[in-house]
Amino acid sequence: MTFKEYQHLYWRAGFGANPANEFWFKNNRKKTVDFLFKNSKTSTPLHIDTAFIENIDIKKLKNDPKKRRELQKQSREKIRAFNFKWIERLIYPKEILRERMTLFWANHFVCKDDNILFVKQFNNTLRTHALGDFRAFVKAISKEAAMLKYLNIKQNRKLKPNENFARELMELFTLGEGHYSEQDIKESARAFTGYNHEPVNGDFILRARHHDNGIKIFLGKSGNFNGDDIIDIILQEKQCAQFIASKVYTYFVNPKPNLEHINAMANVFYKDYNIENLMRFVFTSNWFYTKENIGAKIKSPVDYLVGMARTIPVTFERENDLIKIQKLLGQILLDPPNVAGWKGDKAWIDANTIMVRLKLASVLFNNALIDLNKTSETPNNLRAKYFKANKNKLPFKTTPNWTAFLKNFNTVKTENLHEYIVQGQLNNGTFSYLKSLNKASKQTYCIQLMSLPEYQMC
Q: What angle is formed at CA 31 by the lines to CA 104 and CA 284, rounded to 5 degrees? A: 50
What pLDDT does 380 receive? 41
What pLDDT does 366 receive? 86
408 alpha-carbon distance from chain centroid: 26
Distance, first Cα to last Cα, the chain: 18
Give SS3 for 64: coil
Give SS3 for 317: coil
Rg (CA), the chain: 24
Task: Please state, in angstroms and as integers, the Cα–Cα distance from residue 12 to each residue in 265, 362, 408, 457, following that order.
Answer: 17, 25, 20, 11
- 304 backbone dihedrals φ, ψ, rounded to 5°: -60, -50
What pLDDT does 389 receive? 56
Distance CA 396, CA 386 (A): 11
6 alpha-carbon distance from chain centroid: 21
Q: Are 43 and 283 in contact (CB under 8 A)?
A: no
What pLDDT does 375 receive? 40
Residue pLDDT, tens place only, 353-403: 999 999 999 999 987 655 444 443 443 454 455 455 555 455 788 999 999
Residue pLDDT, tens place only, 282-307: 999 999 999 999 999 999 999 999 99
Distance CA 104, CA 338 (A): 16
Task: Please state, in angstroms and as integers, the Cα–Cα distance from residue 330 to each residue in 122, 187, 191, following that order.
Answer: 22, 38, 37
Q: Are 233 and 218 in contact (CB under 8 A)?
A: yes
If we measure between CA atoms, which residue out of 402, 374, 382, 395 comes closest to residue 327? 382
Query: How confident is the prediction along the chain (458 residues), in pLDDT tens digits per residue?
Result: 888 899 999 999 999 988 877 565 567 899 999 999 999 999 999 999 999 998 888 888 888 889 899 999 999 999 999 999 999 999 999 999 999 999 999 999 999 999 999 999 999 999 999 999 999 999 999 999 999 999 999 999 999 999 999 999 999 999 999 999 999 999 999 999 999 999 999 999 999 999 999 999 999 999 999 999 999 999 999 999 999 999 999 999 999 999 999 999 999 999 999 999 999 999 999 999 999 999 999 999 999 999 999 999 999 999 999 999 999 999 999 999 999 999 999 999 999 899 999 999 999 998 765 544 444 344 345 445 545 555 545 578 899 999 999 999 999 999 999 999 998 789 999 999 999 999 999 999 999 999 999 999 99
Distance CA 143, CA 123 (A): 13
**315: enclosing H helix or E strand:** strand 314-316
- 315 backbone dihedrals φ, ψ, rounded to 5°: -100, 125
Handedness of CA 63, 65, 70, 74 (dihedral sign): positive
Residue pLDDT, tens place only, 401-420: 999 999 999 999 999 999 99
Q: Are 179 and 239 in contact (CB under 8 A)?
A: yes
Residue pLDDT, tens place only, 237-277: 999 999 999 999 999 999 999 999 999 999 999 999 999 99
Task: Please state, in angstroms and as integers, the Cα–Cα distance from residue 3 to each residue in 156, 232, 253, 420, following that order.
Answer: 53, 42, 18, 9
Distance CA 441, CA 378 (A): 36
Give SS3 for 428: helix
DSSP states along 430-451: HHHHHHHS--S-HHHHHHHHHT
Q: Is 32 exposed, middle or buried (CB count within 10 Å of its CB: 0-12, 13-18, 19+)? A: buried
If we measure between CA atoms, which residue out of 6, 8, 37, 27 comes closest to residue 280? 37
Q: What angle is formed at CA 105 by the lines to CA 346 and CA 255, rounded to 5 degrees? A: 30
Question: 238-252 and 96-106 are packed helices; what angle lies between their axes, rounded to 10 degrees?
Answer: 110
**82: enclosing H helix or E strand:** helix 65-91
CA atoms lying within 13 Å on the CB side of residue 105: 22
If we measure between CA atoms, which residue out of 140, 162, 161 comes closest to residue 151? 162
